[in-house]
């Protein structure tokens, strides 16, 4: 605080300041309307010596608080830089406390001024009124598996939250449920032929299932007969060779699926009805143990204009609550609702990742990963425009 700065140097200020400088500072503070005529006259007329004038001035200003004290320090720096340096003063304002987000359940819309400002920038992906009306997204949710032990309870909440968010952002949602790997491949291929792709500014592809390092699992998966959809197929089908309509357009990939079997910490539960479970198909907990599951995949190739958010780091699991859905989708909805009116997609994903720094279960850890990011510009969603 600037008033404390003045208190710290009071003795040396009184000793070193000249009467001429006192008068100059009084004129400055009077012009700033931080002192009135009566106060300035009091400093000069009610004190006989220079030291008493200096004490009266610095004490009067200190009592007026941080703003007045900071302005006096600024004027002192301008009037007498040498004295300012000798006193070791600073006029930097006290940093404002970091804003704590109050996460919104509904979408905050972008302003016309923000839209107009960004339309002038060459650093963003083009978004127009026409392209906003042509947005389309693919949403695949696998909940019910042939092996009942693999049922992903809570996935229906993820589907609901993701569909609501995408629609509020202006995307037509092409939705599938409970697909085998073959049907996922077919659904993705069919999506690349959607007539809106030619006019859209971007696409979302969201897949939620069990998984492992390089695959998302189909609903018929078993150890004896794997039912595995290669994640690389997403990038193959949406790339420029297979889907030229999406060339130079952002392709946002979100995958809620385990990427392996490792856990960020030892899983310990003191309850037979824990609330958190994982989507790791190879190590499913007994039905009476918990509610959290994990997902895993990894990508190797790079294509232009992609950005992916995977629900966990390589070889680790991701978690889901059976009553509220996965943490990844919950946090995506909250961050996008609250921040997408002013943040680009890369910053939105960073804020989602930041939410995982304080995981709600102290015995478990999960960290989403931005992967295969080849965006060359910033992409803004401009919600509600």
Question: For residues 64 and 249, what is the distance between their CA atoms, to the nearest angstrom?
Answer: 56
Q: Residue 143: count other Cβ atoms within 10 Å of its Cβ.
A: 18
Q: What is the CA radius of gyration of the chain?
A: 30
Q: b or e along 332-359 (b: 16 or more beta carbons within 10 Å of the residue's beta carbon)?
A: bbbbbbbbbbebbbeebbebbbebbeeb
Q: What letter does residue 197 receive in the DSSP assignment?
A: G
Question: For residues 382 and 385, what is the distance between their CA atoms, to the nearest angstrom?
Answer: 6
Q: Are 246 and 304 in contact (CB under 8 A)?
A: no
Question: In angstroms, what CA-CA distances link 247 with 109, 192, 205, 251, 277?
Answer: 27, 12, 16, 9, 39
Q: Are 191 and 273 in contact (CB under 8 A)?
A: no
Q: Which residue has the tokens 């143990």?
A: 289
| List 258, 299, 339, 341, catalytic entry | 258
258 catalytic? Reply is yes
First-residue to last-residue Cα distance in the chain: 42
Give me 302's structure tokens: 């790079």
Q: What letter does residue 9 receive in the DSSP assignment?
A: T
Q: What would the DSSP string read from start to end of 25-67?
A: HHHHHHHTTSS-HHHHHHHHHS--SHHHHHHHHHHHHHHT-HH
56 catalytic? Reply is no
| List 210, 221, 299, 341, catalytic entry | 210
271 contact partners, CB below 8 Å, separation of at least 6? none
**Could you give the residue numbers annotated as active site?**
210, 258
């Amino acid at each position: 605080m600037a008033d404390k700065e003045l208190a710290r140097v009071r003795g040396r200020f009184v000793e070193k300041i000249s009467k001429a400088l006192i008068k100059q500072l009084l004129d400055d503070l009077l012009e700033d309307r931080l002192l009135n005529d009566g106060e300035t006259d009091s400093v000069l007329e009610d004190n006989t010596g220079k030291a008493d004038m200096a004490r009266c001035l610095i004490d009067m200003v200190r009592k007026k608080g941080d703003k007045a004290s900071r302005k006096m320090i600024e004027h002192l720096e301008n009037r007498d830089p040498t004295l300012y340096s000798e006193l070791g003063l600073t006029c930097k304002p006290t940093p404002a406390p970091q804003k704590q987000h109050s996460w919104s359940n509904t979408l905050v819309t972008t302003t016309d001024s923000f839209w107009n400002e960004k339309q002038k920038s060459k650093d963003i992906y083009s978004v127009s009124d026409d392209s906003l009306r042509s947005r389309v997204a693919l949403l695949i949710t696998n909940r019910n598996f042939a092996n009942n032990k693999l049922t992903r309870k809570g996935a229906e909440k993820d589907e609901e939250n993701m569909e609501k968010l995408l629609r509020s952002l202006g995307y037509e949602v092409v939705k599938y449920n409970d697909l085998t790997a073959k049907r996922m491949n077919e659904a993705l291929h069919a999506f690349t032929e959607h007539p809106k792709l030619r006019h859209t500014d971007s696409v979302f592809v969201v897949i939620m299932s069990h998984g492992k390092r390089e695959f998302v699992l189909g609903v018929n998966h078993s150890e004896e007969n794997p039912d595995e959809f290669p994640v690389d197929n997403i990038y193959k089908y949406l790339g420029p060779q297979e889907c030229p309509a999406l060339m130079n357009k952002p392709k946002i990939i979100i995958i809620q699926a385990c990427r392996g079997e490792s856990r960020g910490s030892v899983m310990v539960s003191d309850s037979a009805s824990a609330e958190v479970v994982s989507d790791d198909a190879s190590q499913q907990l007994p039905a009476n143990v918990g509610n959290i599951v994990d997902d895993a995949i990894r990508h190797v190739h790079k294509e232009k204009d992609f950005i992916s958010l995977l629900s966990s780091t390589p070889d680790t699991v991701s978690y889901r609550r059976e009553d509220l859905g996965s943490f990844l989708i919950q946090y995506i909805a909250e961050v996008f609702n609250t921040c997408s009116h002013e943040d680009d997609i890369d910053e939105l994903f960073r804020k989602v990742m930041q939410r995982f720094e304080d995981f709600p279960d102290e015995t478990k850890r999960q960290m989403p990963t931005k992967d295969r990011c080849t965006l060359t510009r910033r992409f803004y969603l401009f919600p509600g425009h």
